[in-house]
Amino acid sequence: MRLPAAPRTVASFPPLYILSSVHFLTPSGTSIMTDNPSKERTIIVMGPTGVGKTTFINCLAGRDGPGVGHGIESCTAKVELIRVEQAIHGRNITFVDTPGLDDTYKADIEILADIAAFLVKVYKKNVKIDTILYLHRISDIRMSGSLLKNLKIFVSLCGIQSMPNVTIVTTMWHRVDKGEGEIREEELKRKMWFDMIEKGCQVKRFDGTYKSALCIIEPGQPETRTSGPSTSTDPSAIQPTRGPLLSSEMVDKRKKLKATAAGNELNKEIKNLIKKQRAASRKLRELSKQSADDTEKRILEQELQETDQKIKKASEQHAVLKRNVLDWLFGPKPETSEVPRVGQT
């Protein structure tokens, strides 16, 4: 099967929409996801901050600019829908760009609540999710606490039943030696991702090119695989899912966010963080009392203030997680506004 030509500019590509996380309407007022399901696909893109989620979407949409996150600070601040018309073989694709946990400006609980709000809305509209992509930097030498937290919450959010619709996408291959990257990828498959792969999850690579991005989202495209654990799931036989586990937990079972698997996982992470920060705070207080050097004492007191501030923020997140957010999620919708086309005047 021949690959569709990569789009070069927005002007030469089919109309692209930037959509609000609340509404699913085109400027004409028609639904973008439910009018003709056979011509629509919905792909959710998730992962930690800075893994290249927006860059991946922009590669397929044929655009680049200020909205693409190339720096160390997070770019995507909220759930954003990006629709590309007639993207592949006449089918429209709606990409759901999500912020990662450990966002530069937003607390983890805010991000999880934003994602939960979106998932609940599409679940109630009976919008099928074709694919859920989880991006991971292959350039990361080890699985840090932050990366592990993101992965754990992602798995608990999706649930086992969604794994055949999940693809782990490794990024940043240009930052590592290919051989070293392949060794790292195999180790992740054997350890961190083993259970996910066993349940039907796939692992693919994004090397920054349109061709590799297309192979990730198009089941019919061939891809070179490496050795290691794999699944016998036939990609062409995978059916869209109505939504991740979090959706059914909050809609069908009417659970509070904190009672969901993802909320419970985040709650454990926050409690562990508070415990570690409090231990660090006690240690800094002891060192400050014992210090006879004024300069050292000032430095220790400054670190203590920063640690206490982190404890305060984590405690606030913990308190928010205990609240009932169902009223907010199922509350009245704001008024619909027109959705602008990108590249159109």
By three-state DSSP, how is residue 149 classified? helix
The number of CA neighbours under 13 Å toward the Cβ of 6 is 15
Q: What band does 199 get if pLDDT is binned at 50, 70 and 90?
A: very high
d(Cα 216, Cα 199) in Å, to the nearest integer? 18
* Per-residue pLDDT reduced to its tens digit, 202-241: 999 999 998 899 899 886 544 444 434 444 444 444 566 6
pLDDT at 324: 53
Does residue 18 register a pLDDT over 80? Answer: no
DSSP annotation string for 240-271: PBS--HHHHHHHTS---GGGSHHHHHHHHHHH
CB 201 within 8 A of CB 231: yes
d(Cα 299, Cα 314) in Å, to the nearest integer? 23
Q: Which residues pair with 341 in a beta bridge?
A: 17
Question: ∠ CA 110-111-114 to the nearest 5 degrees?
Answer: 85
pLDDT at 15: 35
Q: Which residues pair with 96 in a beta bridge?
A: 44, 81
Q: What band does 105 get if pLDDT is binned at 50, 70 and 90?
A: low
| pLDDT above 90: percentage of residues in the chain | 25
Across all residues in the chain, what is the average pLDDT? Answer: 74
At 53, which helix (H) or strand (E)? Answer: helix 53-61
Does residue 69 register a pLDDT over 70? Answer: no
Average pLDDT over residues 44-72: 73
Q: What band does 242 get if pLDDT is binned at 50, 70 and 90?
A: low
* Per-residue pLDDT reduced to its tens digit, 264-317: 888 888 888 888 888 888 888 888 888 888 888 888 888 888 888 878 877 877
Q: What band does 171 get if pLDDT is binned at 50, 70 and 90?
A: very high
Average pLDDT over residues 163-175: 95
CB 97 within 8 A of CB 54: yes
Q: What band does 104 get if pLDDT is binned at 50, 70 and 90?
A: low
| Low-confidence winner among 54-58, 216-220, 273-277, 321-325 (lowest mean pLDDT) | 321-325
CB 135 within 8 A of CB 212: no
pLDDT at 63: 57
pLDDT at 138: 96
Q: Look at strands 40-46 and 131-137 and give their pairing.
A: parallel
pLDDT at 339: 30
Average pLDDT over residues 69-79: 52
Beta strands in the chain (DSSP E): 16-19, 40-46, 80-88, 91-97, 131-137, 166-171, 202-205, 341-342
The number of CA neighbours under 13 Å toward the Cβ of 166 is 27
d(Cα 19, Cα 91) in Å, to the nearest integer? 18
pLDDT at 224: 41
d(Cα 101, Cα 259) in Å, to the nearest integer? 19
- pTM score, whole prediction: 0.72
d(Cα 80, Cα 94) in Å, to the nearest integer? 10
